[in-house]
Structure 1
Amino acid sequence: YCTILGYSEEELVGSVVVEMIIPIEKRAVFLERLKNRKQGIQEDYQTEVIRKDGEKIIIDIKSNALFNEKGASDAYVVSITDITDEIRKIEDIKAFSSIAAHDLNSPINKILTVVDLVDPNSLNEENKEFLQMVRTTIVSMKTLTQDLLAFSRLGTQALEKSNVNINEIVQDICKQQLPPNFTGQLSIQNLPDAKANEGAVKQLFNNLISNAFKYSSKKTVPEIEIGSYTKEGQTYYFVKDNGVGLNEEQMKTLFTPFKRYHSKFEGNGLGLAIVKRIIDKHGGNIFAESDTDKGLTLSFTLSPS
């Protein structure tokens, strides 16, 4: 139990462990199940808990009551198993694996090299279009394999955390992502630092800001806002756009791998799945607010609440 949660025995014995490991939004359900356990009702379920280092993991809980000679339950035996990796392997990619993505990288790079060696000036207009079509497809495949690898690695790698300058990261990403001749409004608040993994946070904001620019690009005046706020002592960051938005049904599967909603925009459906995985690895939460044609706001924390 100590190994699973990352605590020592001394830290757990005599402590209110529920408050240490159960996310606030899941405590009511957990405490209700605890009542059932004390009444001798058998348990068999899976739930999310927070390790000492802040990472969210998934455990399987099974319990059986022990009855005394009077037929009353005065104790119970509980079995707890860390099933995080198994669950994530099921969730992750299924048909794809990191090995497949690695194997795809080599031929993709070779094709891209050959395409880049062809001199467009030696081709007629029709063949130039074909060459560009091949290049666009290959670049898209390369992005997909890189995203597959990133998504797969996030399931197993431990994250080293340090004090991260969020302001600097967001400013750099916005400079890189800003479309040519951008005529919209980009607002960046003064963002507080965070205790996080710098590389993962860069990828997180890169995905969110890229999406904001992309999905608001067809608006007459694109509006993007990146900021933060504090609620009940917790820091929330957000990325907001006035783009195409999503309906209520689409919002239910927003973070599902390979899920795409707008055929007019390029993408492979892994961007937000990667964002969700990064936030889970930090022990944070993410939620979305949207309405069709009114944009999307993604708010998240980078530490347990």
Structure 2
Amino acid sequence: MPTKNQQIEQLTALNNELENYFRNTIIPQLFVDADLKLRKFTPPAMKQFNLSENDIGKSMHDIKENIRYNTISDNIQQVISSNKILEREIQTTDFRWYQMNIIPYITIQDNKTNGVIITFVEITQRVKDLKELEKVITDHEILLDTISHDIKTPLTSLVLAFKVIKNMPPENVADIQNLLQIQEQSVLKMQSLIQELTDTREQEHKYQAEEELLDVENIVNDVRLTLNGSIAQSGAVINSELNVPKVTFSRHKLRSIIYNLVSNAIKYKSPHRTPEILIKTERENNCVVISVKDNGIGIGETEKEAVFSKYFRIKGNVEGSGIGLYLVQQHVKYAGGKIILESEPDKGSTFKVYLRAE
């Protein structure tokens, strides 16, 4: 049987090993007793708490922490009462994320919880990756919606042109050639859209579409060409006032924004007047504002929020799938911008898209 001195030496050796572990571990840990008093901590724990040796023996209620929305004392009490491990994701005041585990410390002799061990494992990168993954999923949904929505117009023009040609006398050569030209433009436009979307998927940056310095007038002209049939049929007059001629943005997303706003302006024209549409760019503080103003049927106050919802459509006999404005809002939102709608029934609407300027 070991002597008293030998027992003291063994306890001292064990204590030294324990102290050495605390000094060298890279894991933030706190040891808190059943009275919620701090008994020991590892140096890395100072990232979450402003600790010093003077804090040993203090109540956790009195210790200053660097955790946002802290409920740590309540969590400790919950673990002591339940004898169950508690896991939570917490964020510190420097906006880093940690997985916090509170483990009951159970004494062998009486099998009771005599306190808790709290560990922190940093998961900041994992949280960022999850957020990026959510963006990827959203971008894929938007991509599918864009394909179905933006290809619909040229495809419809193509089908209508085929129907007209089938019923047209052979001697109307000039008319047939015009319709064939419309068909060719529609096919080329669909081909261009598919190529743009394919290029976006293949780019090096996984999480966001490539941005470039764009000439807004070129984008507007591209939209005019795409909507050529609708413009001719409605007699719409489209003017532009480009006080900011260039903007840094994703090409296909900017084209989609302007296309959808102009397309809606034509679709929801007033039956009492010729559609007049003004596309304008201007600088406001640190933003480039792209606005599309029309003299159409306008939008009531109760529908201003709803128009940006997926599949929502204003009542009326107007062709469409109800995702155009949803796509616009999603593109703008994920670029860190905002969109504002100003409208009155029978007085037209103005959509203002705010994009951050470089």
Which category of TM-score, normalised to the shorter sequence, fits these structures?
A: 0.5 to 0.7
Structure 2 unmatched ranges of 5 or more: 1-66, 76-87, 91-96, 104-114, 150-155, 171-185
Alignment of 1:68-87 (within 5 A): 80=127, 81-82=130-131, 84-85=134-135
SS at match of 1:301: strand
Deviations 1:9-59 (A, max 9, x none): xxxxxxxxxxxxxxxxxxxxxxxxx752488788889xxxxxxxxxxxxxx
Which amino acid in structure 2 is aligned with residue 36 of structure 1? Y
Is residue 298 of structure 1 aligned with residue 331 of structure 2? Answer: no
d(CA) in 1 for partners of 2:351, 2:274:
20
- 2:210 pairs with 152, 155, 160, which one? 160
Residue 237 (structure 1) aligned with residue 290 (structure 2): yes
Aligned to 1:200: 253
In the TM superposition, residue 266 of structure 1 has moved relative to its aligned partner by 1.6
Count the aligned residue pairs.
225
Partner of 2:356: helix, strand, or coil? coil
Establish whether residue 228 from structure 1 lines up as the match of residue 281 from structure 2: yes
Given the alignment, which residue of 63, 69, 83 partners 1:36?
69
C-alpha displacement of 1:242: 2.0
2:305 equivalent to 1:262: no
Q: TM-score, normalised by structure 2?
A: 0.46
Match of 1:36, SS?
coil
Q: Deviations over 1:275-301 (max 9, x none)?
A: 223323433322222222222211113
Larger radius of gyration: 2
Partners of 1:97 and 1:221 lie apart in 2 by 30
TM-score, normalised by the number of residues in structure 1: 0.53
8 Å contact 2:89–2:100 — kept in the other structure? no
- Pick closer, same or farther for the CA change 1:86–1:166 going to 2, 3 Å: closer
Q: Aligned runs of 1:17-28 on 2, under 5 Å? A: none
SS in 1 for 2:306: coil
Q: Is the 8 A contact 1:258 1:270 kept in 2?
A: yes
Answer whether contact 1:186 1:224 (CA < 8 A) is retained. yes
Distance 2:245 2:147 in 1: 38
1:1-305 matches, cutoff 5 A: 35-37=68-70, 80=127, 81-82=130-131, 84-85=134-135, 88=138, 118-119=166-167, 158-174=208-224, 177=227, 179-180=231-232, 182=235, 186-303=239-356
Measured in 2, the distance between the counterparts of 1:243 and 1:205 equals 17
Amino acid at match of 1:248: E
Offset at residue 192 of structure 1 (A)? 2.8
Which residue pairs with 1:136 in the alignment?
A: none
**Contact between 2:299 and 2:348, CA under 8 Å: does it hold in 1?**
yes
d(CA) in 1 for partners of 2:263, 2:331: 16
Query: Are residues 294 and 164 of structure 1, via their aligned partners in 2, closer, same or farther at CA, if it must alter by over 3 Å?
Result: same
User: How far apart in 1 are the matches of 2:244 and 2:343?
Assistant: 23
Offset, 1:238: 0.8
Corresponding letter in the other structure for 1:165 = D
The separation in 2 between residues aligned to 1:239 and 1:99, in whole angstroms, is 23
8 Å CA contact 1:162–1:196 kept in 2: the answer is yes
Q: Is the 8 A contact 1:284 1:304 kept in 2?
A: no
AA aligned opposite 1:246? I
